[in-house]
Amino acid sequence: MIINSRFFNRSELIGFVALAALLFVILPLSLDVFRLNLVAKYLTYAFVGIGLVLCWGYGGILSLGQGVFFGLGGYCMAMFLKLEASSPENTKIQSTPGIPDFMDWNQITSLPLFWQPFHSLTLTILAIILVPGLFALIIGTAMFKRRVGGTYFAIITQAVAAILTILIVGQQGYTGGINGMTDLRTLKGWDIRPDHAKVMLYFFEVFLLFGCILLAQFIRLTKLGRILVAMREQEDRVRFSGYSVANFKIFAFCMAAIFAAIGGAMFALNVGFMSPSFVGIVPSIEMVIYTAVGGRMSIFGAVWGSLLVNFAKTGLSESFPQLWLFGLGGLFIAVVLAFPNGLSGIWADHVQPRIDRLMTWRKPKPAKAWTDSSVADGAPAE
Protein backbone atom coordinates (compact mmCIF):
# COMPACT_ATOMS: atom_id res chain seq x y z
CA MET A 1 0.00 0.00 0.00
CA ILE A 2 1.20 3.47 -0.87
CA ILE A 3 0.14 6.00 1.69
CA ASN A 4 1.84 9.13 0.63
CA SER A 5 2.87 11.07 3.66
CA ARG A 6 5.45 13.19 1.86
CA PHE A 7 4.68 16.87 1.46
CA PHE A 8 5.42 16.88 -2.28
CA ASN A 9 5.44 13.94 -4.64
CA ARG A 10 8.21 13.75 -7.21
CA SER A 11 6.62 15.83 -9.96
CA GLU A 12 5.41 18.43 -7.48
CA LEU A 13 8.90 18.69 -6.09
CA ILE A 14 10.26 19.30 -9.59
CA GLY A 15 7.57 21.95 -10.09
CA PHE A 16 8.44 23.60 -6.80
CA VAL A 17 12.16 23.70 -7.51
CA ALA A 18 11.64 24.94 -11.05
CA LEU A 19 9.36 27.74 -9.90
CA ALA A 20 11.70 28.74 -7.08
CA ALA A 21 14.64 28.83 -9.49
CA LEU A 22 12.67 30.95 -11.94
CA LEU A 23 11.37 33.48 -9.44
CA PHE A 24 14.34 33.73 -7.10
CA VAL A 25 17.22 33.41 -9.57
CA ILE A 26 16.45 33.43 -13.28
CA LEU A 27 14.04 36.36 -13.51
CA PRO A 28 15.90 38.70 -11.11
CA LEU A 29 19.15 38.02 -12.98
CA SER A 30 17.79 38.40 -16.48
CA LEU A 31 15.27 41.25 -16.22
CA ASP A 32 15.76 44.95 -15.65
CA VAL A 33 14.01 46.60 -12.73
CA PHE A 34 11.10 47.79 -14.85
CA ARG A 35 10.37 44.27 -16.14
CA LEU A 36 10.95 42.75 -12.72
CA ASN A 37 8.40 45.15 -11.31
CA LEU A 38 5.99 44.00 -14.01
CA VAL A 39 6.56 40.40 -12.90
CA ALA A 40 5.82 41.50 -9.34
CA LYS A 41 2.55 42.96 -10.59
CA TYR A 42 1.63 39.76 -12.43
CA LEU A 43 2.49 37.65 -9.42
CA THR A 44 -0.06 39.49 -7.29
CA TYR A 45 -2.67 37.69 -9.39
CA ALA A 46 -0.98 34.39 -8.57
CA PHE A 47 -2.11 34.85 -4.96
CA VAL A 48 -5.67 35.13 -6.23
CA GLY A 49 -5.07 32.08 -8.42
CA ILE A 50 -3.87 29.93 -5.54
CA GLY A 51 -7.04 30.79 -3.66
CA LEU A 52 -9.13 29.94 -6.71
CA VAL A 53 -7.42 26.55 -7.03
CA LEU A 54 -8.58 25.67 -3.53
CA CYS A 55 -12.03 27.16 -3.86
CA TRP A 56 -12.88 26.47 -7.50
CA GLY A 57 -10.55 23.66 -8.60
CA TYR A 58 -10.87 21.62 -5.43
CA GLY A 59 -14.13 22.80 -3.91
CA GLY A 60 -16.00 23.42 -7.17
CA ILE A 61 -17.11 26.89 -6.01
CA LEU A 62 -16.61 29.38 -8.82
CA SER A 63 -16.31 32.91 -7.53
CA LEU A 64 -16.44 35.63 -10.16
CA GLY A 65 -15.88 38.27 -7.52
CA GLN A 66 -12.31 37.71 -6.39
CA GLY A 67 -11.54 41.27 -7.45
CA VAL A 68 -13.60 42.34 -4.45
CA PHE A 69 -11.16 40.72 -2.06
CA PHE A 70 -8.13 41.70 -4.12
CA GLY A 71 -9.46 45.24 -3.96
CA LEU A 72 -10.23 45.18 -0.23
CA GLY A 73 -6.71 43.98 0.54
CA GLY A 74 -5.23 46.47 -1.88
CA TYR A 75 -7.24 49.39 -0.57
CA CYS A 76 -6.36 48.56 3.04
CA MET A 77 -2.68 48.68 2.13
CA ALA A 78 -3.11 51.76 -0.02
CA MET A 79 -4.96 53.59 2.74
CA PHE A 80 -2.02 53.07 5.08
CA LEU A 81 0.48 54.25 2.47
CA LYS A 82 -1.73 57.18 1.51
CA LEU A 83 -2.01 58.38 5.08
CA GLU A 84 1.75 58.21 5.43
CA ALA A 85 2.15 60.19 2.20
CA SER A 86 -0.35 62.78 3.47
CA SER A 87 1.58 63.98 6.47
CA PRO A 88 0.88 67.61 7.37
CA GLU A 89 4.32 68.63 6.01
CA ASN A 90 3.61 67.00 2.64
CA THR A 91 0.14 68.49 2.37
CA LYS A 92 0.59 71.95 3.80
CA ILE A 93 -0.69 73.64 0.64
CA GLN A 94 -4.12 71.96 1.12
CA SER A 95 -6.95 73.80 2.81
CA THR A 96 -6.96 70.97 5.38
CA PRO A 97 -3.40 69.67 5.74
CA GLY A 98 -2.83 66.12 6.96
CA ILE A 99 -5.62 64.39 5.03
CA PRO A 100 -5.30 62.66 1.65
CA ASP A 101 -5.37 65.04 -1.29
CA PHE A 102 -8.57 63.62 -2.84
CA MET A 103 -10.44 64.32 0.40
CA ASP A 104 -9.29 67.89 0.30
CA TRP A 105 -10.46 68.22 -3.31
CA ASN A 106 -13.87 66.94 -2.25
CA GLN A 107 -14.25 69.48 0.54
CA ILE A 108 -13.82 66.94 3.32
CA THR A 109 -12.23 68.65 6.30
CA SER A 110 -11.42 65.83 8.68
CA LEU A 111 -10.28 62.25 8.34
CA PRO A 112 -13.33 59.88 8.35
CA LEU A 113 -13.56 57.45 11.26
CA PHE A 114 -12.98 54.31 9.16
CA TRP A 115 -9.66 55.74 8.01
CA GLN A 116 -8.32 56.14 11.54
CA PRO A 117 -7.07 52.53 12.07
CA PHE A 118 -4.86 52.86 9.01
CA HIS A 119 -2.42 55.07 10.86
CA SER A 120 -1.10 51.84 12.37
CA LEU A 121 0.77 49.26 10.30
CA THR A 122 -0.21 46.43 12.66
CA LEU A 123 -3.90 47.27 12.37
CA THR A 124 -3.49 47.61 8.61
CA ILE A 125 -1.97 44.14 8.30
CA LEU A 126 -4.79 42.76 10.46
CA ALA A 127 -7.34 44.58 8.30
CA ILE A 128 -5.82 43.15 5.10
CA ILE A 129 -6.59 39.65 6.41
CA LEU A 130 -9.70 40.26 8.48
CA VAL A 131 -11.78 42.65 6.37
CA PRO A 132 -11.89 40.42 3.28
CA GLY A 133 -12.06 37.31 5.46
CA LEU A 134 -15.10 38.57 7.37
CA PHE A 135 -16.73 39.83 4.20
CA ALA A 136 -16.30 36.40 2.60
CA LEU A 137 -17.59 34.80 5.78
CA ILE A 138 -20.79 36.85 5.61
CA ILE A 139 -21.41 36.20 1.91
CA GLY A 140 -20.44 32.56 2.24
CA THR A 141 -22.62 31.97 5.27
CA ALA A 142 -25.62 33.64 3.68
CA MET A 143 -25.26 31.67 0.45
CA PHE A 144 -23.90 28.26 1.41
CA LYS A 145 -26.04 27.76 4.51
CA ARG A 146 -29.02 28.07 2.18
CA ARG A 147 -27.55 25.67 -0.35
CA VAL A 148 -26.93 28.30 -2.96
CA GLY A 149 -24.09 27.35 -5.23
CA GLY A 150 -22.98 26.86 -8.79
CA THR A 151 -23.81 29.45 -11.38
CA TYR A 152 -26.13 31.24 -9.01
CA PHE A 153 -23.33 31.86 -6.54
CA ALA A 154 -21.02 32.92 -9.35
CA ILE A 155 -23.45 35.61 -10.49
CA ILE A 156 -24.07 36.87 -6.97
CA THR A 157 -20.33 37.31 -6.45
CA GLN A 158 -20.23 39.17 -9.73
CA ALA A 159 -23.02 41.45 -8.56
CA VAL A 160 -21.05 42.14 -5.38
CA ALA A 161 -18.04 43.09 -7.51
CA ALA A 162 -20.24 45.45 -9.51
CA ILE A 163 -21.65 47.03 -6.35
CA LEU A 164 -18.27 47.59 -4.76
CA THR A 165 -16.85 49.18 -7.91
CA ILE A 166 -19.76 51.57 -8.31
CA LEU A 167 -19.49 52.43 -4.63
CA ILE A 168 -15.76 53.15 -4.79
CA VAL A 169 -16.15 55.25 -7.92
CA GLY A 170 -19.16 57.10 -6.48
CA GLN A 171 -17.70 57.91 -3.05
CA GLN A 172 -14.83 59.92 -4.43
CA GLY A 173 -14.19 61.84 -1.24
CA TYR A 174 -13.55 58.73 0.79
CA THR A 175 -11.93 56.45 -1.77
CA GLY A 176 -10.29 58.59 -4.41
CA GLY A 177 -12.98 57.63 -6.92
CA ILE A 178 -12.18 56.37 -10.39
CA ASN A 179 -8.53 57.47 -10.16
CA GLY A 180 -8.02 55.41 -7.05
CA MET A 181 -5.31 56.08 -4.53
CA THR A 182 -2.22 57.33 -6.26
CA ASP A 183 1.04 58.93 -5.23
CA LEU A 184 1.90 56.35 -2.57
CA ARG A 185 5.41 57.06 -1.35
CA THR A 186 6.80 55.48 1.78
CA LEU A 187 6.29 52.50 4.07
CA LYS A 188 7.30 53.44 7.62
CA GLY A 189 9.56 56.09 6.20
CA TRP A 190 11.16 53.74 3.67
CA ASP A 191 10.70 55.02 0.13
CA ILE A 192 9.00 52.35 -2.01
CA ARG A 193 9.61 54.08 -5.34
CA PRO A 194 13.33 53.78 -6.17
CA ASP A 195 14.72 50.78 -8.04
CA HIS A 196 16.42 49.08 -5.12
CA ALA A 197 13.15 49.26 -3.14
CA LYS A 198 11.28 47.68 -6.04
CA VAL A 199 13.75 44.79 -6.10
CA MET A 200 13.42 44.33 -2.33
CA LEU A 201 9.62 44.37 -2.60
CA TYR A 202 9.79 41.84 -5.42
CA PHE A 203 11.71 39.40 -3.25
CA PHE A 204 9.42 40.06 -0.30
CA GLU A 205 6.42 39.27 -2.48
CA VAL A 206 7.98 36.07 -3.85
CA PHE A 207 8.72 34.92 -0.29
CA LEU A 208 5.11 35.56 0.67
CA LEU A 209 3.96 33.77 -2.48
CA PHE A 210 5.92 30.67 -1.56
CA GLY A 211 4.48 30.91 1.94
CA CYS A 212 1.00 30.86 0.44
CA ILE A 213 1.93 28.00 -1.90
CA LEU A 214 3.10 25.92 1.06
CA LEU A 215 0.00 26.79 3.07
CA ALA A 216 -2.26 25.85 0.16
CA GLN A 217 -0.34 22.62 -0.37
CA PHE A 218 -0.72 21.84 3.34
CA ILE A 219 -4.49 22.38 3.17
CA ARG A 220 -4.67 20.27 0.04
CA LEU A 221 -2.96 17.35 1.76
CA THR A 222 -5.09 17.35 4.90
CA LYS A 223 -8.38 15.51 5.10
CA LEU A 224 -10.00 18.88 4.44
CA GLY A 225 -8.43 18.89 0.98
CA ARG A 226 -9.91 15.49 0.23
CA ILE A 227 -13.29 16.58 1.57
CA LEU A 228 -13.25 19.51 -0.84
CA VAL A 229 -12.71 17.11 -3.76
CA ALA A 230 -15.38 14.79 -2.38
CA MET A 231 -17.80 17.68 -2.03
CA ARG A 232 -17.30 18.77 -5.61
CA GLU A 233 -18.26 15.31 -6.82
CA GLN A 234 -20.94 14.12 -4.43
CA GLU A 235 -22.13 16.84 -2.15
CA ASP A 236 -24.87 14.69 -0.66
CA ARG A 237 -22.54 11.82 0.17
CA VAL A 238 -20.33 14.21 2.14
CA ARG A 239 -23.35 15.56 3.94
CA PHE A 240 -24.50 12.04 4.77
CA SER A 241 -21.05 11.17 6.00
CA GLY A 242 -21.68 13.62 8.82
CA TYR A 243 -20.07 16.79 7.54
CA SER A 244 -21.58 20.24 7.33
CA VAL A 245 -20.92 20.90 3.65
CA ALA A 246 -21.69 24.61 4.06
CA ASN A 247 -18.92 25.10 6.64
CA PHE A 248 -16.32 23.55 4.34
CA LYS A 249 -17.42 25.74 1.46
CA ILE A 250 -17.32 28.81 3.67
CA PHE A 251 -13.78 27.87 4.75
CA ALA A 252 -12.60 27.43 1.15
CA PHE A 253 -14.21 30.70 0.09
CA CYS A 254 -12.70 32.61 3.03
CA MET A 255 -9.25 31.16 2.34
CA ALA A 256 -9.55 32.20 -1.30
CA ALA A 257 -10.61 35.67 -0.18
CA ILE A 258 -7.63 36.01 2.15
CA PHE A 259 -5.15 34.85 -0.49
CA ALA A 260 -6.67 37.34 -2.93
CA ALA A 261 -6.43 40.10 -0.33
CA ILE A 262 -2.73 39.40 0.25
CA GLY A 263 -2.27 39.67 -3.51
CA GLY A 264 -4.10 42.98 -3.52
CA ALA A 265 -1.95 44.36 -0.70
CA MET A 266 1.18 43.31 -2.61
CA PHE A 267 -0.22 45.04 -5.66
CA ALA A 268 -0.56 48.34 -3.81
CA LEU A 269 3.01 48.02 -2.50
CA ASN A 270 4.68 46.95 -5.74
CA VAL A 271 2.73 48.98 -8.26
CA GLY A 272 2.34 52.01 -6.06
CA PHE A 273 -1.37 52.68 -6.49
CA MET A 274 -4.78 51.04 -6.21
CA SER A 275 -7.86 51.79 -8.26
CA PRO A 276 -11.37 50.44 -8.83
CA SER A 277 -10.32 49.02 -12.18
CA PHE A 278 -8.83 46.04 -10.27
CA VAL A 279 -12.03 45.38 -8.34
CA GLY A 280 -14.88 45.03 -10.79
CA ILE A 281 -16.45 42.32 -12.90
CA VAL A 282 -13.90 42.31 -15.70
CA PRO A 283 -10.70 42.01 -13.59
CA SER A 284 -12.43 39.40 -11.42
CA ILE A 285 -13.22 37.17 -14.34
CA GLU A 286 -9.76 37.70 -15.81
CA MET A 287 -8.30 36.38 -12.58
CA VAL A 288 -10.37 33.23 -13.11
CA ILE A 289 -8.94 32.80 -16.58
CA TYR A 290 -5.34 33.06 -15.30
CA THR A 291 -6.15 30.18 -12.99
CA ALA A 292 -7.93 28.22 -15.70
CA VAL A 293 -5.04 28.60 -18.11
CA GLY A 294 -2.56 27.43 -15.51
CA GLY A 295 -4.83 24.58 -14.51
CA ARG A 296 -7.59 24.88 -11.99
CA MET A 297 -6.31 21.87 -10.05
CA SER A 298 -2.70 22.97 -9.82
CA ILE A 299 -1.27 25.41 -7.29
CA PHE A 300 1.88 25.90 -9.35
CA GLY A 301 -0.26 26.17 -12.46
CA ALA A 302 -1.98 29.21 -10.96
CA VAL A 303 1.39 30.96 -10.74
CA TRP A 304 2.43 30.00 -14.27
CA GLY A 305 -0.98 30.99 -15.62
CA SER A 306 -0.80 34.45 -14.03
CA LEU A 307 2.67 35.02 -15.42
CA LEU A 308 2.09 33.73 -18.94
CA VAL A 309 -1.32 35.26 -19.60
CA ASN A 310 -0.18 38.63 -18.32
CA PHE A 311 3.02 38.55 -20.37
CA ALA A 312 0.91 37.70 -23.39
CA LYS A 313 -1.50 40.49 -22.51
CA THR A 314 1.26 43.07 -22.17
CA GLY A 315 2.99 41.88 -25.32
CA LEU A 316 -0.13 41.72 -27.43
CA SER A 317 -1.76 44.89 -26.19
CA GLU A 318 1.49 46.80 -26.76
CA SER A 319 1.81 45.70 -30.37
CA PHE A 320 -1.72 44.70 -31.48
CA PRO A 321 -4.23 46.16 -29.02
CA GLN A 322 -7.24 45.05 -31.05
CA LEU A 323 -6.05 41.44 -31.04
CA TRP A 324 -5.86 41.13 -27.28
CA LEU A 325 -9.60 40.79 -26.64
CA PHE A 326 -9.87 38.21 -29.42
CA GLY A 327 -6.98 36.36 -27.84
CA LEU A 328 -8.41 36.52 -24.34
CA GLY A 329 -11.88 35.51 -25.51
CA GLY A 330 -10.43 32.65 -27.52
CA LEU A 331 -8.42 31.60 -24.48
CA PHE A 332 -11.58 31.33 -22.39
CA ILE A 333 -13.24 29.15 -25.00
CA ALA A 334 -10.17 27.03 -25.71
CA VAL A 335 -9.46 26.35 -22.05
CA VAL A 336 -13.03 25.30 -21.43
CA LEU A 337 -13.55 23.26 -24.58
CA ALA A 338 -10.17 21.67 -25.16
CA PHE A 339 -8.00 21.95 -22.04
CA PRO A 340 -10.16 21.90 -18.92
CA ASN A 341 -7.08 21.31 -16.77
CA GLY A 342 -5.04 24.01 -18.42
CA LEU A 343 -1.29 23.98 -18.86
CA SER A 344 -0.70 21.71 -15.89
CA GLY A 345 -3.12 19.21 -17.43
CA ILE A 346 -1.23 19.33 -20.72
CA TRP A 347 2.00 18.86 -18.81
CA ALA A 348 0.65 15.89 -16.84
CA ASP A 349 -0.97 14.22 -19.86
CA HIS A 350 1.57 14.80 -22.59
CA VAL A 351 4.94 15.95 -21.26
CA GLN A 352 5.28 14.08 -17.98
CA PRO A 353 4.62 10.59 -19.46
CA ARG A 354 7.35 11.17 -22.04
CA ILE A 355 9.83 12.22 -19.38
CA ASP A 356 8.83 9.21 -17.30
CA ARG A 357 9.33 6.92 -20.26
CA LEU A 358 12.80 8.33 -20.78
CA MET A 359 13.60 7.95 -17.09
CA THR A 360 12.26 4.42 -16.73
CA TRP A 361 13.69 3.27 -20.02
CA ARG A 362 16.55 1.53 -18.25
CA LYS A 363 14.84 0.20 -15.10
CA PRO A 364 11.52 -1.60 -15.71
CA LYS A 365 8.53 -0.51 -13.64
CA PRO A 366 7.56 -2.65 -10.63
CA ALA A 367 4.38 -4.69 -11.06
CA LYS A 368 1.11 -3.19 -9.89
CA ALA A 369 0.11 -3.84 -6.28
CA TRP A 370 -3.04 -5.75 -7.07
CA THR A 371 -3.06 -8.82 -9.21
CA ASP A 372 -5.32 -10.23 -11.88
CA SER A 373 -7.21 -12.43 -9.43
CA SER A 374 -8.56 -9.47 -7.50
CA VAL A 375 -9.84 -7.94 -10.72
CA ALA A 376 -11.64 -11.11 -11.71
CA ASP A 377 -13.02 -11.35 -8.20
CA GLY A 378 -14.57 -7.93 -8.34
CA ALA A 379 -15.78 -7.84 -11.90
CA PRO A 380 -19.44 -8.57 -12.58
CA ALA A 381 -19.94 -12.21 -13.41
CA GLU A 382 -22.36 -11.50 -16.20
Instruction: Report 4-63 residues binding other proteins (CB under 8 A).
Output: 5, 60, 62
What distance in Å separates the CA atoms of residue 310 and residue 190, rounded to the nearest whole number? 29
Name the β-bridge partners of 187: 190
Taking the complex as a whole, the smallest distance from the CB of residue 54 to other proteins amounts, in Å, to 13
Q: Say how far residue 376 (Cα) sits from the centre of its chain.
A: 47
Among 16, 335, 341, 347, binds other proteins (CB under 8 A): 335
Among 130, 229, 308, 316, binds other proteins (CB under 8 A): 229
Segment (H or E) for 177: none
Among 326, 353, 355, 360, binds other proteins (CB under 8 A): 326
Is 330:315 a contact under the CB 8 Å cutoff? no
Separation in Å, CA 137 to CA 57, 125, 146, 255, 258:
20, 18, 14, 10, 11
Site for other proteins in 69-128 (CB under 8 A): none
Site for other proteins in 295-324 (CB under 8 A): 322
What distance in Å separates the CA atoms of residue 326 and residue 329, rounded to the nearest whole number? 5
Taking the complex as a whole, the smallest distance from the CB of residue 242 to other proteins amounts, in Å, to 4
Residue closer to other proteins, measured from CB, 64 or 268: 64
Among 29, 93, 113, 337, binds other proteins (CB under 8 A): 337
Separation in Å, CA 211 to CA 20, 107, 226, 253, 320:
12, 43, 21, 19, 37
DSSP classification of residue 278: G
Q: State yes or no: residue 238 binds other proteins (CB under 8 A).
A: yes
Q: State yes or no: residue 236 binds other proteins (CB under 8 A).
A: yes
Taking the complex as a whole, the smallest distance from the CB of residue 116 to other proteins amounts, in Å, to 24
Among 9, 30, 222, 360, binds other proteins (CB under 8 A): 222
DSSP classification of residue 360: T
Is 154:62 a contact under the CB 8 Å cutoff? yes
Stretch that binds other proteins, among 79-87, 112-120, 333-341, 353-361 (CB under 8 A): 333-341
Site for other proteins in 155-184 (CB under 8 A): 155-156, 158-160, 162-163, 166-167, 169-170
